[in-house]
């Protein structure tokens, strides 16, 4: 399933409905749907935050293949920004000493089996694979 969503935070409600349709269509448990929603929300909001020049809709593709769920978000017409290279936060440091950011991507990495970035033709794509 693939759909494109406007580059606005208020699109998240529609995105969550899209994820729910996907999980229901494939008989996935609610807990897995919540994991997918978290991954999509984190990546989508990062695209809004860091790919500020983007004007086109963000395409979200959800695919089920065997025991894997593939989540791909493509942000067209933007400069490259490889979220997979964002350093892991230092969770050993006290909260007040840590900088902002990075925790959401840390959780995406923990939920996923693979976390990839591709850039081609002005399109920035992040692909996350999750166990079914």
Which residue in the block uniquely carries the two structure tokens 């293949």?
65
What is the C-alpha to C-alpha distance for residues 50 and 13, in angstroms, rounded to an integer? 21
* Confidence class for position 88, pLDDT limits 50, 70, 90: low
Residues in the chain: 132
Domains by residue range for the chain, with CATH = 2-131 (3.30.565.10)
Q: What pLDDT is stored for residue 100 in this prediction?
A: 56
Q: What percent of the chain has pLDDT over 90?
A: 62
What is the C-alpha to C-alpha distance for residues 39 and 31, in angstroms, rounded to an integer? 13
* Confidence class for position 104, pLDDT limits 50, 70, 90: confident
pLDDT digits (tens, 9 = 90+) for 43-66: 999 899 877 666 799 999 999 999
What is the C-alpha to C-alpha distance for residues 126 and 117, in angstroms, rounded to an integer? 5
Phi, psi of 8 (to 5 degrees): -140, 145
Pairing of strands 2-5, 58-65: antiparallel
* Confidence class for position 105, pLDDT limits 50, 70, 90: confident
pTM of the model: 0.86
Q: What pLDDT is stored for residue 85 in this prediction?
A: 83
SS3 call for 87? coil
């Amino acid at each position: 399933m693939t759909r494109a969503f406007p580059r606005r935070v208020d699109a998240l409600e529609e995105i969550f409905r899209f994820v729910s349709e996907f999980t229901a269509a494939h008989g996935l448990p609610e807990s897995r749907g919540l994991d997918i929603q978290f991954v999509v929300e984190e990546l989508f909001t990062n695209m809004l935050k860091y790919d500020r020049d983007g004007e086109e809709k963000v395409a979200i593709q959800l695919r089920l293949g065997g025991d894997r769920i593939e989540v791909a978000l493509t942000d067209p017409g933007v400069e490259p920004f490889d979220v997979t290279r964002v350093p892991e936060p230092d969770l050993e440091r006290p909260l007040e000493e840590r900088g902002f950011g990075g925790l959401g991507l840390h959780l995406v990495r923990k939920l996923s089996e693979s976390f990839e970035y591709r850039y081609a033709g002005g399109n920035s794509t992040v692909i996350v694979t999750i166990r079914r």
